[in-house]
A and B are shown apart, each in its own frame.
Chain A
């Protein structure tokens, strides 16, 4: 059974810092991995999707890497801003068309 963990559970940084969020999954036979952002009381915003054949994806200040063999992914946020404050979720699917398994999230606070 696939399990996803995220470290750290919470992170507080001053504005402008670069930071790394970590995600680990137990079953490396994934179809894809996705990073989401969730604001309090809100739905999910998809940030980056990495297919199993890819090693990284970039969008603006965000860069996500995937190391399937070790069951790890990292989300790198450059030059953090207060508007980046949210919970970041990592999720994987094991097959095309199957459900996501979500990690517990990392709650990020970027202080002005």
Chain B
């Protein structure tokens, strides 16, 4: 079946540094990928929609200059959290449409900023 590989699964970084999270579709082409985040005890919320070859579409309240999304190929989308702060600590997860009505999710990345 369609698989999305997400790395890293866990990352701890110092405040002020940047962290890159990768989502790669292994056996299908993902024209569109979605990035979600989940704060503790809250639901998953869409951050942005990543479209191959074009700029991402960000949800209201998500800073596009802080959360850089690159979708340069049909199999790879990256989310870079720039100048991370403790309040950015969260669970980040990507998903992609498999093109047949289904969706596949990555395994998620737990980011802790200290």
Contact = CB atoms under 8 A, between A and B. Distances in A.
Given A41-B110, A99-B49, A46 B105 contact: yes
A104 interface: yes
Interface residues of B, number: 21
B90 interface: no
Given A43-B105, A44-B105, A49-B102, A102 B93 contact: no
Interface residues of A, number: 22
A103 B93 contact: no
A81 interface: no
A97 interface: yes
Interface in B73-114: 93, 95, 97, 101-103, 105-108, 110
Given A31-B101, A43-B6, 12 more contacts: A32-B101, A43-B106, A44-B93, A44-B105, A51-B101, A91-B44, A96-B101, A97-B97, A99-B95, A100-B46, A102-B36, A104-B42
Interface of A: 31-32, 34, 41-44, 46, 49, 51, 89, 91, 93, 96-97, 99-105
